[in-house]
Structure 1
Amino acid sequence: MTNRRRFLGGAAFLATCGVRMGGAVEASDEERTVDSPSDGGLPIVDTHVHLWDLDRLRLPWLAGGGPLARNFLPDDYREAAEGLDVVKGVYMEVDVDPAQHPDEAASVVELCRRGGEPLVGAVIGGRPASDAFGAYLDRFRESPEVKGVRRVLHGGETPPGTCLQPEFVRGIRLLGDRGLSFDLCMRPGELSDGAKLVDACPETSFILDHCGNPDVQAADLSAWRDDLSRLADRENLVCKVSGIVASAKPEAWTPDDLAPIINHVLDRFGPDRVVFGGDWPVCTRAASLRQWIGALNVVVADRSLADRKKLFHDNAIRVYRLMG
């Protein structure tokens, strides 16, 4: 059980972060305590920022509609991050129609170069198994803003074992040759495939997104815990503490619901191989960016200041090769 400083009551936590059990509100200055998400004094590098303009990009996974089926633009992110001391951000590809990968990448490189934005780097979408993957990467040889590539591996068009196909492995090795990383985003039941891929590409740096995608509401996380523990032995892999709040029960979760996953990741990967990611706006399925950061601060409150600074800032600078 967490201690008083971490003030576990779910209602108290939500009120402090600006939420009541009927909807979102702004927290007043009086409501913000030392444990509120904006206090910390720690600068934040958000390694997982999604943006999309549906007037320009096609996102097949949003075809069914829903709260996320609208534009989320840089001004919207700045509003969501206001007061949170986000000093840098890394754009994360948004699983667009593959034909639009070059357009998506070019637009975000331009955004990073504009200045005045939190975004200073990008992980772009790509298809590592494609024969044209090398030529695609060549487009960005003079774009240091491009830090890596991601291919989402948990969609219906990517059956188990996709990442172990020889063509896919070849493409991931090519990333290592180019000094680029790969964000590994996959179903939790396939983490053993992830381990095999990492082993097959020792010169490539990997970032495991969303703690390996466990379901916060799952009754039994033992298989995920075991698989993640084995995966954590790979030294060319770090883990991104992100995404998990999206699977929490909306308006009914507390930091305690997230703590077992977060603490297992931090304990197994250690303080030097973890980074923070907001996963905005996907996190808004259950929490605002402020609530997610607030909850994470609550969970890690008893860890050392040095380790918390590594999680929220220092490791991201190194892992994504950002300017300090």
Structure 2
Amino acid sequence: MTTQPLIDAHHHFWALDGSVHYPWLEDEIDPHFFLGDYAAFRRPFQAPDLKALVPDGYRLVGTVHCEAEADRREPERETRWLTVHAERHGLPIALVGWANFLDAGCEAQLEAQMASPLFRGVRAKPITAARPDRLAEVHGQPGSLEDADWCRGLRLLEERELSWDLRVPAWHLQAAARTLEATPELRAILNHTGLPWDRSSAGLEQWRQGMRALAENPGVTVKLSELGSPMAAWDEAANVAILAEAIEIFGPDRCVFASNFPVTGLNASYADWLAMVERAIALVAPEARQAILHDNAVRCYRLDISEPAS
């Protein structure tokens, strides 16, 4: 029986054994976490756990780990731990770390992590508004998408041919598109389908406009991942429709499958999330199944895949 090769382009591992410190998992619960109570995944989650979730019919040939908000004083510590973890378990085959764009030591943080053969880029989150009607409160503030000092970090990534994992709510997507105009050679990977949290008609239209603005930049790819929302209940049919629309906006050659596990597990099983992405692909781009589930991630994250794609 033929199995579909799969690359999961966004997940998190943690041991919670002192190897790496995750304040939000090991110390106090974050009352502002976007999906509410996350006690269910405050336990170790590592490569064997992820492998066990992949349903029959698929062959997990690689994964990309995205930084998991480890202690910000030592970003290279998570990168070192993941590199050793990969040597033992075969996953991840690439990783996205973190660096402090406002710190004078940002370059040193990047250089230290570039020592890992798995290091591909950085997820550094700008400050964002909690709701679309509060955009003016953060516009131009230190650490925002309009802050020249913060945006210096994007230029450091561009100079080193590293990618930027972009994670902002939908109401910041157009601002992100404008910010990226200053770094035309920077590859950006939009996290979590652009976080369309506001599911009102106006909110979804704002998401569409932002997605279209980003899609005009050929250097931006979107992860078909995480559609949990702090502003709307989980709706599988609506989420499939959003995934399908994201594929149409960016085109199937700039979309990648990603699970965001274990976080997405608060709303759906791994098999269910994968099935939702498959339904969206079947609706609008059935010919692109191999590309979205495997090939695009290889290109986007410059993955070293030794076995044939199919």
TM-score (normalised: structure 2): 0.83
Residue ranges of structure 1 left out of the alignment (5+ in a row): 1-38
Cα gap change, 1:194 to 1:61, in 2 (>3 Å): farther
2:74 to 87, 93, 100: 100
1:237 to 196, 215, 220: 220
What are the residue-to-residue correspondences of 1:95-134 with 2, within 5 Å?
A: 95-114=69-88, 116-134=89-107
Contact 1:43 1:85 in 2 (8 A): yes
Query: Matches of 1:192 and 1:302 in 2, distance apart?
Result: 27
Query: Is 2:111 the partner of 1:138?
Result: yes
AA aligned to 1:237 is: V
Contact 1:173 1:203 in 2 (8 A): no
Cα gap change, 1:106 to 1:293, in 2 (>3 Å): same
Q: Secondary structure at the match of 1:287?
A: coil
Q: 1:257 deviation in Å?
A: 1.6
Aligned to 2:149: 167
Q: Secondary structure at the match of 2:73?
A: helix
Query: Matches of 2:14 and 2:129 in 1, distance apart?
Result: 21
Cα gap change, 1:134 to 1:170, in 2 (>3 Å): same
Query: Is 2:53 the partner of 1:90?
Result: no
Contact 2:79 2:116 in 1 (8 A): no
Aligned to 1:22: none
Contact 2:187 2:219 in 1 (8 A): yes
Contact 2:128 2:172 in 1 (8 A): no
Residue ranges of structure 2 left out of the alignment (5+ in a row): 30-37, 131-136, 306-310
Q: Secondary structure at the match of 1:300?
A: helix
Summarize deviations over 1:24-71 as a string: whole Å, max 9, x none: xxxxxxxxxxxxxxx984211101010112332333444326222222
Report the number of matched residues. Answer: 282
Summarize deviations over 1:142-198 as a string: whole Å, max 9, x none: 322101110134678994541331222111111111111000001211112211221
Query: Matches of 1:228 and 1:185 in 2, distance apart?
Result: 13
Query: Is 2:148 the partner of 1:186?
Result: no
**Cα root mean square deviation, aligned:** 2.5
Q: 1:210 deviation in Å?
A: 0.6
Query: Matches of 2:7 and 2:39 in 1, distance apart?
Result: 29
Q: Secondary structure at the match of 2:41?
A: coil
AA aligned to 2:108 is: A
Identity of aligned residues (%): 28
Query: Is 2:247 the partner of 1:273?
Result: no
- Which shifted more, 273-282 or 137-146? 137-146
Contact 1:86 1:118 in 2 (8 A): no
Cα gap change, 1:293 to 1:218, in 2 (>3 Å): farther
2:125 to 152, 160, 168: 152
Q: Secondary structure at the match of 1:183?
A: strand
Aligned to 2:297: 316
